[in-house]
Amino acid sequence: MTIRAPRPVDVEQYAEAVRRSAEHIGRWNPVEPDGLPELLGRQGSGLRTFLIVDQETGGLVGKCNVANIVMGRFCNGALGYDSYEPFAGTGRMTEGMLLVVDRCFADQSTGGLGLHRLEINVQPENERSIAMARRLGFRHEGFTPRMLYLGGSWRDHERFAMTAEEWPGLTGR
């Protein structure tokens, strides 16, 4: 698995991957096959997107947004992710997410985001995403009522988090 920033040339492949995966994404997240140009336009200090790519085939395994990035004394970001067919459920997304977390915590001088804390907010019934947060080693921090507006209403979320000190991949901190 490899991770990289999305590019304009990815627009078509991205749209196909999201369309193929509409059923399993749509239960939890908006399905926006034509959303990559807008997402590219929003990349900046508050939002960084990573595509997870299967190196062997070049196929798109998934996408992870590192959103709500706040630096200063917080150095915090929130992870939001989707996996794509035919890779969903094969373990590749987890592999890619480990790379994303590593990049988030890595120092800016080495191409990382230099974050200190990451959070993952998941709807309580989203077992696959909760399993992902736990596999990555995130701690359950608590419950946030009516946190995000999704599918036409304000949804409760379970809050998972990790700080750089807890990340085994990182050395020298």
Ligand X SMILES: CC(C)(COP(=O)(O)OP(=O)(O)OC[C@H]1O[C@@H](n2cnc3c(N)ncnc32)[C@H](O)[C@@H]1OP(=O)(O)O)[C@@H](O)C(=O)NCCC(=O)NCCS
What backbone phi and psi angles, to 5 degrees, belong to 40?
-60, -40
Tokens of 8: 């304009």
91 binds ligand X (CB under 6 A): yes
68 binds ligand X (CB under 6 A): no
82 binds ligand X (CB under 6 A): yes
Pair 70, 113: CB distance under 8 Å? no
Q: Using CB under 6 A, which of the segments 41-49, 106-114, 129-137, 161-169 binds ligand X?
A: 129-137
For the stretch 92-121, what's the b/e string if a residue is b when 16 or more beta carbons lie within 10 angstroms of its beta carbon?
Answer: bbbebbbbbbebbbbeeeeeebbbbbbbbb
CB of 87 to ligand X, least distance (A): 7
127 binds ligand X (CB under 6 A): yes
20 binds ligand X (CB under 6 A): no
From CA 164, how far away is CA 108, in angstroms rounded?
14
94 binds ligand X (CB under 6 A): yes
Contact footprint for ligand X (CB under 6 A): 24-25, 28-29, 81-83, 88-94, 122, 126-129, 131-132
